A and B are shown apart, each in its own frame.
Chain A
Amino acid sequence: MKQNYYIFNNGCLRRQENTIFFEKEDGTRNVIPIENTEAVYAFGEIDFNTKLFNYLAQKGIPVHVFNYYGFYSGSYYPRETLNSGQLLVKQVNHYTNMRHRLALARAFVNGASFNIVKNLRYYNNRGKDLGEYINAIEGYRSRIEESGAVEELMGIEGNIRNTYYKAWPTIIDCEIEFERRVKQPPDNMINALISYLNSLVYTTCLGEIYHTQLNPLISFLHEPGERRYSLSLDLAEIFKPIFSDRIIFTLLNRQQITNKDFMTEVNLCYLNESGRKTVVREYDERLKTVITHKKLERQVSYRHLVRLECYKLVKHLIGEQEYEGFKIWW
């Protein structure tokens, strides 16, 4: 499996001698083996030039850029090499035809909320009393199939998430102050963690879409244009409970992340560098973790699960097999 590189230092990233060098401000340098690189995450203040971008495009390597607070700014997405006109037409059709669009949007909410409930059940079986939240979410879930419009579905999804987040103080052992999800900007530790990890999940989904013939701009649950690559948002829904939320619970319950890892300004809370590094290491570890895939009967990494989700979407779009969102079974 190719590696992600996460750059926190300030410096300069450039092409040199058929690979890439990262030179820190103090002059020390790291060599990044280009042939084995999946993506570059730029957290520090980094200089790039076009020679580098041309090289990265040639190798199909995206760069994800984050601002001073560690909030996601955007991605350099190399020119697409895998295109299928016939698949694109089908993808567009599935967006414009309301019945088709709804079917896919439902599948995303269904898969995402299944994984949410699974997380709750996991902790419910470990002595946390989460029964009322599980029941409430199951109630919302039963309305997914009868929802008649994407907006309605988004409403159900919102209710599920709100209920889910209310359960978090019970799941997390340490004292936390967390009532509701606040984005842009996050106002407390949990919201800061969610924002940060969700942006990592989004970039992972984007990277995997890049390796398929799917077009990242056309989405079904989210409105295209909501974010540039909105199909990533759709896919991320499925994987956030597995990749993002589980890491948050683990990091906080093991006290690998504490108050010391955050910075607060007026109405703004964000992870400091050591916090970001801890999270990124845990996330990277998670992506590489392998499980035995029941249907494929072979070992696949968590990251590869995202690719497989893309393939399932392709099969749905061409009319071969109805899409069902990935459901965690462990």
Chain B
Amino acid sequence: MDNSIAHLKLTGTQINYYFLCQRKLWYFAHDIQMEQNNDAVYLGKLIHETSYEREKKEIDIDGTIKIDFIGKDRVIHEVKKSDKVEEPHIWQLKYYIWYLKQKGVEGVTGKINYPKLKKILDVVLENGDMEKIETIMVDINRIITSPLPPVVNRMKICKSCSYGDICWV
């Protein structure tokens, strides 16, 4: 792997936010977090904490990525509350698979669990994904190292976003 990408040490949350909202990505990287006072986020955390209690939870790898739990046959799981925006979840998991691959762990696939919806989504690395992830990483680094947060248009998700107040006030 390209060394300049490896040292970026991006977290899964950052990959997720890159697809969700790049302002959120910037604020989050600057430790300006809003989660603590948002009901929707708190609910998400609760679901996280109370579902799949039997499985081993939160596997921390290099202090960089945190996998919710690992199932049989090298399947990594990510638990999410709602499937309203699937793309960020999918890329978060693809990034984990990519990350493990860099560390020499092959044959990993992923599943996104939506316990509230009783739904499971399969995720695998497809052709071209490796390159795309590397481009994304460089772009994330560009965003979080720029002095100002990027300007984004008001989206549907802004309404329930914990950063809504700081963005639009």
Contact = CB atoms under 8 A, between A and B. Distances in A.
Contacts of B165: 296, 307-308, 311
B31 A320 contact: no
11 contacts: A82-B31, A82-B33, A82-B36, A85-B31, A87-B30, A213-B31, A213-B33, A295-B168, A307-B165, A311-B166, A314-B32
Interface string A286-330: 000000000110000000000110011011001110000000000
A274 interface: no
A311 B32 CA distance: 10
Contacts of A314: 32, 166
A85 B31 CA distance: 8
B149 A84 contact: no
A84 B31 contact: yes
B148 interface: yes
Nearest to B166: A311
B128 interface: no
For chain A, what secondary structure do more than half of its interface residues adopt (helix, strand, loop), or is it mixed? loop
Contacts of A211: 36-37
B78 to A, nearest CB: 26
B169 A312 contact: yes
A81 B32 CA distance: 12
Interface of A: 81-87, 211, 213, 295-296, 307-308, 311-312, 314-315, 318-320
Contact of A87 (B31, B149, B168): B31
A326 to B, nearest CB: 10
B30 to A, nearest CB: 5
A211 B32 CA distance: 11
A319 B168 CA distance: 15
B169 A308 contact: yes
Given A87-B30, A87-B32, A213-B31, A318 B148 contact: yes
B63 interface: no
B31 A315 contact: no
A163 B31 CA distance: 43
Given A295-B168, A307-B165, A320 B32 contact: no
B30 A296 contact: no
A314 B32 CA distance: 9
A213 B169 contact: no
Contacts of A82: 31, 33, 36
Nearest to A309: B169
B37 A83 contact: no
B166 to A, nearest CB: 4
Contacts of B31: 82-87, 213
Contacts of A315: 166, 169
The 6 lowest CB-CB distance pairs between A and B, nearest first, are A84-B31, A311-B166, A308-B169, A86-B30, A311-B169, A84-B32
Contact of B32 (A213, A295, A307): A213
Given A83-B31, A84-B32, A87-B30, A296 B164 contact: yes
A312 B33 CA distance: 15
B149 A318 contact: yes
Contacts of B148: 318-320
Contacts of B30: 84, 86-87, 318
Nearest to A296: B168
A97 to B, nearest CB: 16
A319 B147 CA distance: 8
A211 B38 CA distance: 11
Contacts of B149: 318, 320
